[in-house]
Structure 1
């Protein structure tokens, strides 16, 4: 959740500060899980159907945000903000039938943005042109059971592999907003570009499988999005408002990575 730059645009103050924290407590339970890849090898992980078939998957998390707006000259405002637009945390653990797919996965992000707007009169209200850029850092890890240590005879090793990745990139945003103060009418439309993470680096740790710790690299793109918000006064002291946001998740289906020794 990012600081809402379009909301900042409408604030009449010369200097504005906003901060907050959102607590999210998702509740997702996987039921009737069955391991269909039962081969004792590094791809299938062993037969795990003797483990739990129902497990809670999701973890609670906090989403902080902070932003500062300043009016540079009459009609021109700029917003500097920090947010965490992307994130995920699942932790079903190792004692379930799908441990060869996921034990724990976590994704973190940090977004640093600068957005400016120019205001001018248009019809009965005022319009704004919005534009800016941002820098994003994304990191995360995934642990899964590569192979059942008992079935594979690994002794004291756990059979768990861990992948750690991190990358960064830049993006831009553009949009427009319109306001008619007499009716408390505000509307905005903002597009955020994708962020190409062209130089993802990290490690693949297979030491608990009897192998090595290896450096890896890859690339991905955080998806672009477009968001529309609108509010209007409907009676004294009453507002109606709503928003809709579209994100192109097709841009982020998989993150492919290779050992650095294969880099050319």
Structure 2
């Protein structure tokens, strides 16, 4: 396998890895972490990518299990075919530079974490969720040092990243639809925080055979400064003597850690113009269980605590595929990915199976365009309160569809 064939096949493999790792992974994962640009053999390179993901999860047989007078009995509202998920974009931008024969460095911006559910207020589970949205921004710098070992090169990798994470949740706190036209009964929680993380890893490459094996660990990011507000001004709260008073808006604080992860990637040329690739990734989502949110001041009895109930288990993602170079400009690849759902009785993040395919077009040696698509299934299951969660609904969900399309542009010299 000649050098040009090797480079093209490697690029093809990354086309699918980029998309498959993004589509509806467990927990709060969106784009995750990606340092593939660090291995680009050109001295300088810049890359921009965008992925559009369209999950189509629907909830059925929804039952409001908290029918107390304050929260109301919502079982007369729609309870089947509730569209919960929203589509989203995942951007990524990176630049890489080589220094001599041994040192490579890259800087990148990404959005590793996120979530957006929006079933609205007109469903039987509105007292559990009306809309929840989480967003993130990640700024990273990563370098590696390599030297000759045997037929190839051994590489050590290290880096750091800074993350900003924030979002909100709205739910029906008190059902006032038959009582007050003034108060909606909807409460809102807003939180944001930031923190630092680091990564380390090793890799071994034999470019002649397009062989590479890498193992990279990304640390947890402690968001020990989460702060925000709870707004209950549209609700009426019991006053303790048989009446009700309007709620307040007050400052709150919390703590959470975004998960650490460990990923093994392997690829190898298997015939002239052909490349096989695969990866295994573990993500420590189980550290996100019940996130307590407390008021900064309890002087006002209307300043109430709350919680974000996630109750995740660890995530596992396994991908395998094959890439082929058709000619000097065109190459393609296909992959299969299994992602173990992070929900296990509470929530609807069950196992996901996706098939991806993509093409890479290099009109010149300095420019590469990629287009990839993914389609998959979100497996069925059910959700009910567990482990002390404050969930107020139960529901079922069937096998649903997720799809995605990704495009990227790389310039190198």
8 Å contact from structure 2 (residues 74, 125) kept in 1: yes
State the Cα distance separating 1:250 from its structure 2 match: 1.1
CA 1:233/1:28 → structure 2, altered by over 3 Å: closer, same or farther? same
Please tell me whether residue 40 in structure 1 is matched to residue 76 in structure 2.
Answer: no
State the Cα distance separating 1:146 from its structure 2 match: 0.3
TM-score (norm 1): 0.94
Which of 103, 107, 115 aligns to 2:134? It is 107
Cα distance in 2 for partners of 1:254, 1:81 equals 31
Deviations 1:111-153 (A, max 9, x none): 00010000111111111100010000000000000011135x2
8 Å contact from structure 2 (residues 267, 277) kept in 1: yes
DSSP-derived class of the 2:38 partner: helix
Cα distance in 2 for partners of 1:176, 1:154 equals 62
Deviations 1:22-56 (A, max 9, x none): 11101100000011110022xxx210000011201
Please tell me whether residue 258 in structure 1 is matched to residue 294 in structure 2.
Answer: yes
8 Å contact from structure 1 (residues 77, 118) kept in 2: yes
8 Å contact from structure 2 (residues 260, 283) kept in 1: yes
Q: Which runs of 4+ in 1 moved over 6 A?
A: none
DSSP-derived class of the 2:64 partner: coil
In structure 2, what is the equivalent of residue 116 of structure 1?
143
In structure 1, what is the equivalent of residue 283 of structure 2?
247
CA 1:188/1:114 → structure 2, altered by over 3 Å: closer, same or farther? same
Aligned-CA RMSD value: 1.3
In structure 1, what is the equivalent of residue 52 of structure 2?
23
Please tell me whether residue 4 in structure 1 is matched to residue 40 in structure 2.
Answer: no
Please tell me whether residue 125 in structure 1 is matched to residue 161 in structure 2.
Answer: no
Cα distance in 2 for partners of 1:201, 1:73 equals 45
Cα distance in 2 for partners of 1:74, 1:125 equals 13
In structure 1, what is the equivalent of residue 43 of structure 2?
14
8 Å contact from structure 2 (residues 33, 112) kept in 1: no
Cα distance in 2 for partners of 1:138, 1:57 equals 22
Unaligned runs of 5+ in 1: none
Cα distance in 2 for partners of 1:215, 1:177 equals 46
Unaligned runs of 5+ in 2: 1-30, 236-245, 300-413
TM-score (norm 2): 0.61
State the Cα distance separating 1:262 from its structure 2 match: 4.8
CA 1:40/1:188 → structure 2, altered by over 3 Å: closer, same or farther? same
Please tell me whether residue 196 in structure 1 is matched to residue 225 in structure 2.
Answer: no
Cα distance in 2 for partners of 1:145, 1:2 equals 32
In structure 1, what is the equivalent of residue 320 of structure 2?
none
